[in-house]
Amino acid sequence: MALSHVVLLCLCLCLSASASSSPLERNDPEIMARQEADRVTALPTQPPASFRHYSGYISVDDFLGKALFYWFFEATSQPAAKPLLLWLNGGPGCSSVGYGEAQELGPFLVKEGPGGPTLRFNNYTWNKVIAATNLLFLDSPVGVGFSYSNATVEYGDNSTARDAHTFLLNWFKRFPQYRSSEFYMAGESYAGHYVPQLAEVIYDENQKSIEDTFINLKGVIVGNPSMDDEKDMKGRIDYAWGHALISDDLYISIKAKCDFSNENVTNDCFNALLEYYKLYKIINMYSLYSPTCPPDRPFANHLLNTRAKVGTRNYHLLLLRVILAGYDPCLANHATAYFNLPDVQRALHANVTLIPRPWSLCSWDVNLSWNDTPSSVLPVLKKLIGGGIRLWVFSGDTDGSVPVTSTRYALNKLGLNITENWRAWYKGREVGGWTMTYEGLTFVTVRGAGHQVPTFAPKRSLQIIRHFLANSKLPSMPF
């Protein structure tokens, strides 16, 4: 998930702008004008903020009319000296603006107000001084959130990574003062594919790039990530049985009928899994011990998608992507209502082409059209580790959808040497979770957190990102 009036007030800008104003920015009126056009100055119900933020569209394909929507927040102090972090939500098909910014780690969180949805300031936003990063949220791919295409497109992992890379190159043309900044990427859920795959494209392109197209990638961090179909599914079933969510009989039946290492799903396996997926209709599988949204609320009854084709590998297509999580189980309602307000869209420079659909947190059209998804991104992780890219994985331990069990199975499958074995880490006097360090990878659990870790454990997630950016170990003793 971040100037004054341009030409007429150039002198004022040069004297009063924060440290993010580079000589290149100050000396190029066209760049200044483009940035000023994207600056958000009057967002409805926005609380006071000491930092600047921008939103708008970056074209990734002029011929097809493909444009991705972003929302960028400068760090609260000395943004020019701080790294840049890109946040991606997963799905595939879910909005990083609607989830990451508005419900998790961004400066402005959406809540229910007396007259409708409203914003409150997030005291644990990742762009604050303690974390010290500029935040860039991207709705990706086209068809998600406010992002759009004027032509029919095919959805999949490869095209999503390529378009995101093109977005970044073009975004740096609009904000060249951040081109040389240390660049990091973070995300959760299906961003366990998005983030490492985009990192791989950046890494490969950097090997042959010129100065203007080089991206200073330093590290990636993913939370409750989908990484390996076999281990994801095995971990889900084992976690559900271990947390007393399914019977012994169903557990034994799934184990007997499903071979998760096989790309094909048999009818017997499919039917057994449907019994397991009934859990998603009755409890919050994204946070086992949190309440569900009351059934009379507009977005409460998200029914299980059972339209996945039997005989295909994509077990994850059986999963419910819309996440109802958080201390307020109706967060999805508030965000959906807020981003559909015309005044909000105008303030964010969004929906300028009058997209013929309401804004939604997740797009079923994108999700059900997904046709390019490798069964595992573990080879990509190994490649990034070999290339010296910092890699952290964190996992909220009350998430039943992409549970900590799945993540541990997947990391074990990597076969990395352990450099520091399992130990507790602390936030203040309390155990924040447990951590384990491999050669080239750090794994962190977050105690009591669901799928959206920054929503459930904002203080702990802020501490994790601070230590990740500083490349330092989490505290092993109370403090």
Query: Which residues have a catalytic role annotated?
Result: 189, 399, 451
Asked whether 395 and 223 are in contact (CB, 8 A), the reply is yes
CA 1 from chain centre, in angstroms, equals 8
Q: Which of 438, 436, 435 is nearest to 460 (CA)?
A: 435
Q: Which long-range contacts (CB under 8 A, 24 or more apart) does 53-59 make?
A: 53/2, 53/107, 54/2, 54/175, 55/348, 55/349, 55/350, 56/348, 56/349, 56/350, 57/146, 57/147, 57/349, 57/352, 58/167, 58/170, 58/171, 58/174, 59/170
Strand 108-113 with 217-225, pairing: unpaired
Asked whether 46 and 110 are in contact (CB, 8 A), the reply is no
Q: Which residues share a beta bridge with 431?
A: 426
| Beta strands per DSSP E along 74-182 | 84-88, 108-113, 116-121, 134-139, 148-149
* 38, 97, 449, 476 from 106: Cα distances, Å: 18, 9, 18, 28
d(CA 32, CA 208): 30
d(CA 40, CA 42): 6
Strand 441-446 with 390-396, pairing: parallel
3-state secondary structure of 73: strand
* 31, 199, 286, 444 from 21: Cα distances, Å: 11, 27, 41, 36
3-state secondary structure of 12: helix
- Residue 59 tokens read as 């074209």
The amino acid present at 408, given as its one-letter code, is R
Asked whether 407 and 226 are in contact (CB, 8 A), the reply is no
CB atoms within 10 A of CB 14: 14
* 26, 97, 107, 198, 452 from 467: Cα distances, Å: 33, 24, 20, 23, 19
